Amino acid sequence: MNDLFHISGLKVAFGQRVVLDIDNLHIPNHATTAIIGPNGAGKSTLLKALIGQYPSRVLHCLNEDAAQVLKQGKIAWVGQHEVFATPLTLLEYVLLGRYPHLGWLSRPSARDITYAETLLAEFELAAFAGKRLQALSGGEKQRVSLIRNLQFLPKILLLDEITSALDEANKRNVNELIHHYVRDKNIAVLWVTHDKDEINHADNVITLQPHAGEMQEARNERA
């Protein structure tokens, strides 16, 4: 089976409240999968479980142990609330995404810098390249975090409500750029979202129900 992820025997509880209780789940590769459900259903928790932050009986990614795939730099995570406690400029921060691919004590090349500047322009942030991160708005920071993770050149992109702080125009722009990147680089995406357009563009939909973490997997219906 060509799985992106296979996870089984996952149970996550906070105190007495069971957030997730998943017996067996297969997530397809080479697809965009939306993870939906009401607040508290365990959507973000599932993403964290897929990168090993919560124990499960089985956790495979691309038919390997998921921990090894993570160490290989094939998985990039973009969360809702990134921490930007750094004096770096926007461009310097984005270039951090290249360091896992560089040799010891190496620095980003001119090609790396050009690619970073191209991404900043595509996400309409080129004018802020020299600004400190602390000067950016919440929506700008979300876009910067996404750009930094795209610099990893991942095979798998995990997105946790990354457009929640964006206005409609920037949301559409980010969605279009992500879909273009997915097609161009042939990567898989898991996207926690409440946005109807993002859900409608997904190839698959996983619905999490809040009662005891029961999960149902459903195909996205198209007109």
CATH architecture for the domain at 3-219: 3-Layer(aba) Sandwich (3.40)
User: Given this model, what pLDDT does residue 54 score?
Assistant: 86
Answer for the pair 134, 93: CB distance below 8 angstroms, yes or no: no
- Residue spans of the domains in the chain: they are 3-219
Mean pLDDT of 58-80: 84
In which band, very low, low, confident or very high, does the pLDDT at 71 lie, cut at 50, 70 and 90?
A: confident
User: Given this model, what pLDDT does residue 1 score?
Assistant: 55
Model confidence over 9-53: pLDDT tens digits?
888 888 888 888 888 888 888 888 999 988 888 888 888 888 888
The secondary element (H helix, E strand) that includes residue 52 is none
What is the percentage of the chain residues whose pLDDT exceeds 90? 4
User: Given this model, what pLDDT does residue 222 score?
Assistant: 40
Model confidence over 95-122: pLDDT tens digits?
888 776 676 767 888 888 898 898 899 8
What's the gap between Cα 81 and its chain centre?
12
Q: Is the torsion defined by CA of 189, 204, 221, 35 positive or negative? A: negative
Q: What is the C-alpha to C-alpha distance for residues 18 and 11, in angstroms, rounded to an integer?
A: 7
Model confidence over 136-175: pLDDT tens digits?
887 788 888 888 888 877 889 999 988 887 888 888 888 8
Dig out the tokens for 38 from the structure.
């009401």
The pLDDT of residue 218 is above 50 = no
Please indicate, yes or no, whether the overall pTM of this predicted structure exceeds 0.75.
Answer: yes
Exposure b/e, 105-138, CB count within 10 A at least 16 = b:
eeebeeebeebbbebbebbebeebeeeebeebee
In which band, very low, low, confident or very high, does the pLDDT at 83 lie, cut at 50, 70 and 90?
A: low
Model confidence over 160-214: pLDDT tens digits?
988 887 888 888 888 888 888 888 888 899 999 988 888 888 888 998 877 554 5
Mean pLDDT of 66-94: 80
User: Given this model, what pLDDT does residue 14 score?
Assistant: 81
